[in-house]
Amino acid sequence: MTSETTTESPVLLVEEPEEGIALLTLNRPKARNSLSEALMAAISNALDGIVGRQDVRAVVIAAAGPVFSAGHDLKEMTAHRADPDRGRAYFTEVLATCSAMMERIVRLPQPVIAAVEGVATAAGCQLVASCDLAVAGAAARFCTPGVHIGLFCSTPMVALSRNLSRKHAMEMLLTGEMVGAEDAARFGLVNRVVPEGEALAAALALARTIAAKSPLTLRIGKRAFYEQLEMGLTEAYRYASAVMVENMLARDAEEGIGAFIEKREPNWQGR
């Protein structure tokens, strides 16, 4: 893949606004924060750098400008229709890169929270759905508009169908219509709606609450949540029971239970 070059700011801003929290800000506002090759690579690299960090307990993904993300960079993709294979190899590579980035979010040990202002469409909507939690400003809107241009949003469908009810997911995918923030909350795409302009502050507050918990417990819980979703009921209970036994034997669980009984604040050690 080629790299996006710019004389302006980086396509992704990576900050740690407070202890225990990493903030990733999509920074292509002039391009509606579309997921270019460079931006997807930057997000993936940032997540890879966070994976093993015990001091980062929660991650927030936000965006600069009035649009959260318009999805794939269609100009970048369309340029490859002139390739000898009409772009097949390039499209395959870009979609594999995007899918791997979304999977990184799900597989990341730390919880990831989307802070959404403005519009999140197509792969931008997929990005929101891939995050563990999402907070939306009241004016935020969401859609999977591929059907309008003859391109069904098949990869966004993967994330939507795992977060929304089937009928709500299908409604978004088949109609391509915009969904307001309140309906997005009702559908299960976002957790809560806050006044316009306050999504980032609310997401950081949520991250702060999460970051106060045992980092080991967060890692165990997030992984177990996604693992059991793919199992049958009996297998899921068997797996979750085994996870809970190991969790009970962890030092943080011993400390947390002891602190509860003794009515004091726990001292987490991450083990």
pLDDT tops 60 at residue 6: no
How far apart are the C-alpha atoms of 248 and 17, rounded to whole Å? 32
Domains defined for the chain, CATH in brackets? 12-212 (3.90.226.10), 215-262 (1.10.12.10)
Angstrom distances, CA of residue 141 to CA of 58, 184, 193? 25, 8, 11
Please give the DSSP secondary-structure letter assigned to residue 73.
-
- The owner of tokens 């989307």 is 114
- Tokens representing 87 are 């772009």
Q: How far apart are CA 97 and CA 101, in angstroms?
A: 6
State the Cα–Cα distance between residues 237 and 159, nearest whole angstrom.
24
Give the model's pLDDT for residue 263.
Answer: 86
pTM: 0.92
234 has a pLDDT exceeding 60 = yes
CA angle 45, 14, 70 (to 5 degrees): 80
Nearest to 11 by CA among 38, 31, 45, 37: 38
3-state per-residue secondary structure call for 127-149? HHHHCCEEEEECCCEEECHHHHH
Q: Mind listing the pLDDT tens digit for each residue in 17-42?
A: 999 999 999 999 999 999 999 999 99
pLDDT digits (tens, 9 = 90+) for 175-227: 999 999 999 999 999 999 999 999 999 999 999 999 999 999 999 999 999 99
Structure confidence at residue 253 as a pLDDT band (50, 70, 90): confident
Distance CA 146, CA 151 (A): 5
User: Which residue(s) pair with 63 in the sheet?
Assistant: 26
pLDDT of 4 strictly over 70: no
Q: Taking residues 65-80, what's their average pLDDT?
A: 91
| Average pLDDT of span 160-167 | 95
